[in-house]
Amino acid sequence: MSGPRFERADELALVRAVAAGSTDALAALYDRHADSLYATAMRSTDDRQLAEEVVQDTFLALWDRAELYDPAVGSLGTWLRAIARNRTIDRLRAAGRRPRLVSVDGVGSGDLDADALDRAATGHSVIGGAGVGPGPEGRLETIEIRETIAAALQGMPEDERTMILLAYQAELTQVEIADRLGWPLGTVKTRTRRALRRLRAALGEMVDPDDLPPTGDGE
């Protein structure tokens, strides 16, 4: 199909622009690949700080070495994931830890089926050799859910988005969030519920059991 090929040509133009010093091109590539790189790093490390550092290292490497990307060897996504994997291993070793096993399917974005083969072809090591993973359909669904949630969060009022991120990413309780932000607990709860309802509306039936009746609001 021409889709992936078109994407590769488009990405090659962006990589060339990065090589010429365009930070806009770097930002565009970040927007395309950061979510999947971060998700993979999180699954390998279970450590937000490390995952953030891996993403930063990867885009710094892209900036510094854009000329070394060879589209004949594999897609840009594959190249970036190989860099991210190596950075993950480096950082885990530095921290005296071992990488967690991640399915060879990974959690990538565009080139799902070619990914594992590309990795083997480029001679890069794969973290672990874990199980079968969710399979292409499951991975697509996971990616779709993640993208839907990301879009819903972006479209949410900032105070509500803050509630969700502090709860799920910083793992703060509602009392801790109220403390942190200096907001009354009641306000935190109201905004949290509002934010949750927006997320549910965006997700629709994506993660709800099919056979259950529609949501009753109760208020």
Residues 76-105 close enough to bind other proteins by CB under 8 A: none
Provide the minimum distance between the beta carbon of 39 and other proteins in the complex, in angstroms, as a whole number.
4
Interaction with other proteins in 168-197: which residues (CB under 8 A)?
168-169, 171-174, 179-182, 184, 189, 192-193, 195-197
The residue among 1 and 87 lying less far from other proteins, judged by its C-beta, is 87
Q: Give the Cα separation of 50 and 41 in Å (integer).
A: 8
3-state secondary structure of 219: coil
Provide the minimum distance between the beta carbon of 24 and other proteins in the complex, in angstroms, as a whole number.
10
Provide the minimum distance between the beta carbon of 63 and other proteins in the complex, in angstroms, as a whole number.
5
The residue among 1 and 212 lying less far from other proteins, judged by its C-beta, is 212
The residue among 49 and 125 lying less far from other proteins, judged by its C-beta, is 49
Q: Give the Cα separation of 168 and 171 in Å (integer).
A: 5
Q: Which of 122, 153, 187, 202 binds other proteins (CB under 8 A)?
A: 153
Q: Give the Cα separation of 51 and 83 in Å (integer).
A: 13
> Is 4 a residue that touches other proteins (CB under 8 A)?
no
Q: Give the Cα separation of 3 and 207 in Å (integer).
A: 28
Taking CB under 8 A as the rule, which mask of x and - marks residues 34-53 in contact with other proteins? xx--xx--xx----xx-xx-
Q: Closest by alpha carbon to 134, among 149, 124, 144?
A: 144
Stretch that binds other proteins, among 69-77, 92-100, 122-130, 132-140 (CB under 8 A): 69-77
Decide: 117 and 126 in contact? Cβ < 8 Å: no
The residue among 1 and 94 lying less far from other proteins, judged by its C-beta, is 94
DSSP string, 42-93: HHHH--HHHHHHHHHHHHHHHHHHGGG--TTT--HHHHHHHHHHHHHHHHHH
